[in-house]
């Protein structure tokens, strides 16, 4: 667990400046290991996407609103996306009034989140400003090192590109889970956490929704295999502490917590009890840490330059 947290801190430091810049929270970043890990994949995938021309696709909240008018506004998009999710959840009784009542409820709720959350986020951002400034002054005594305050990833949940890409990925991941060879996991409750899980992707890809979707499909798809491998252990631990297994389910797992390919490798290294694998995972961390510390400025500058190659998006979160 200690090593996993160290990896998480390293990844958080990698994405901190980019997350703070995109979501407009001064000197703040997310730090939860289950929501920052995908950032690593995005860093390496982004230049490949640029070669394929995905950075030229103008598909982000700002462009949608510009081209579609009121139909492209976050409130309207939230209504349509919410209704779409509601329809998927009520397919078996789509011809009933109760189903359409729930569909409209989901649509209106999603639309409300898209409308209200940016205003709330703006208030949070303004509140964080004096806190980060005070922290900066205190930390100046320890040198010129730049510090970031770790915040809950809920503060970025309602940002339009984040919520839109997260909601679109919900039905996509359901389909992938059903057709992916060798996968035995069908994510259900954790699907609602996808807008949290994509924040690292959104920050690195600078709000480019097509890139976020492709990265999410690939990385979360790999995460399903990790969940499949760890499900027996997770189920044993749950039953040992008295958790009831849902009817019809042979195994249970957590797509949000365990569906992490990189963290899964570290977990499997310790699970194997093989000193070579464990030692290798520790050595790799310190090598990566040393390389990052030595080249931190150039790495962060590179991420900013890569972000500018995407269609620039000013999040509505502030």
What integer is the mean pLDDT of 124-139?
A: 66
Residue-range definition of the domain harbouring residue 68 = 1-309
Beta bridge partners of 29: 150
Contact 221, 176 (CB under 8 A): yes
pLDDT band at 315 (very low <50, low <70, confident <90, very high): very low
The enclosing H or E element of 149 equals: strand 149-151
Residue 64 lies in a domain: yes
Contact 54, 208 (CB under 8 A): yes
Q: Write the DSSP symbol of residue 316.
A: T
> Which residues, including other chains, have CB under 8 Å from residue 247's CB and lie 6 or more apart?
none
Residue 71 lies in a domain: yes
pLDDT at 143: 63
pLDDT at 68: 66
Mean pLDDT is lowest, of 107-121, 125-139, 272-286, for 125-139
Q: Which residue has the higher pLDDT, 311 or 88?
A: 88
Residue 316 lies in a domain: no
pLDDT tops 60 at residue 317: no
Question: How does 175-186 read in b/e, with b if 16+ C-beta sit within 10 Å?
Answer: ebbeebeeebbe
Residue 283 lies in a domain: yes
Contact 22, 212 (CB under 8 A): no
What is the C-alpha to C-alpha distance for residues 111 and 76, in angstroms, rounded to an integer? 7
pLDDT band at 273 (very low <50, low <70, confident <90, very high): confident
> Which residues, including other chains, have CB under 8 Å from residue 29's CB and lie 6 or more apart?
12, 15, 16, 17, 19, 20, 148, 149, 150, 151
Contact 224, 176 (CB under 8 A): yes
Q: In terms of Cα–Cα distance, which of 46, 11, 37 is closest to 262?
A: 37
What integer is the mean pLDDT of 99-126?
A: 74
Mean pLDDT is lowest, of 81-95, 122-136, 236-250, for 122-136
> Which residues, including other chains, have CB under 8 Å from residue 188's CB and lie 6 or more apart?
none
What's the total number of domains in the chain?
A: 1
Q: Cβ of 133: how many Cβ atoms within 10 Å?
A: 12
Residue 305 lies in a domain: yes
């Amino acid at each position: 667990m200690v090593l996993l947290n160290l990896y998480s801190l390293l990844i958080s430091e990698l994405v901190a400046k980019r997350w703070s810049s995109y979501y407009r929270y001064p000197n703040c970043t997310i730090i939860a290991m289950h929501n920052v890990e995908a950032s690593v994949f995005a860093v390496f995938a982004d230049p490949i996407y640029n070669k394929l021309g995905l950075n030229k696709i103008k598909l982000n909240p700002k462009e949608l609103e510009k081209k579609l008018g009121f139909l492209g506004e976050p409130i309207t998009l939230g209504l349509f996306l919410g209704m779409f999710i509601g329809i998927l959840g009520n397919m078996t009784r789509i011809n009933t009034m109760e189903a359409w009542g729930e569909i409209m409820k989901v649509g209106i709720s999603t639309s409300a989140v898209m409308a209200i959350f940016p205003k709330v986020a703006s208030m949070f951002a303004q509140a964080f400003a004096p806190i980060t400034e005070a922290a900066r002054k205190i930390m100046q005594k320890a040198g010129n090192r730049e510090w970031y305050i770790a915040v809950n990833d809920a503060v970025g949940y309602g940002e339009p590109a984040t919520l839109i890409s997260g909601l679109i990925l919900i039905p996509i991941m359901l389909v992938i889970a059903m057709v992916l060879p060798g996968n035995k996991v069908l994510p259900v409750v954790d699907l609602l956490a996808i807008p949290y899980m994509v924040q690292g992707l959104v920050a690195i890809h600078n709000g480019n929704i097509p890139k976020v979707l492709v990265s999410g499909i690939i990385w979360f798809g790999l995460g399903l295999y990790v969940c499949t491998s760890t499900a027996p252990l997770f189920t044993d631990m749950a039953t040992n502490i008295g958790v009831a297994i849902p009817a019809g389910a042979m195994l249970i797992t957590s797509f949000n917590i365990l569906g992490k390919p990189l963290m899964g490798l570290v977990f499997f290294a310790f699970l194997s009890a093989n000193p070579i694998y464990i030692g290798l995972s520790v050595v790799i961390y310190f090598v990566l840490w040393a390389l990052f510390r030595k080249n931190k400025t150039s790495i962060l500058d590179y991420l900013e330059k890569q972000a500018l190659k995407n269609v620039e998006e000013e999040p509505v979160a502030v």
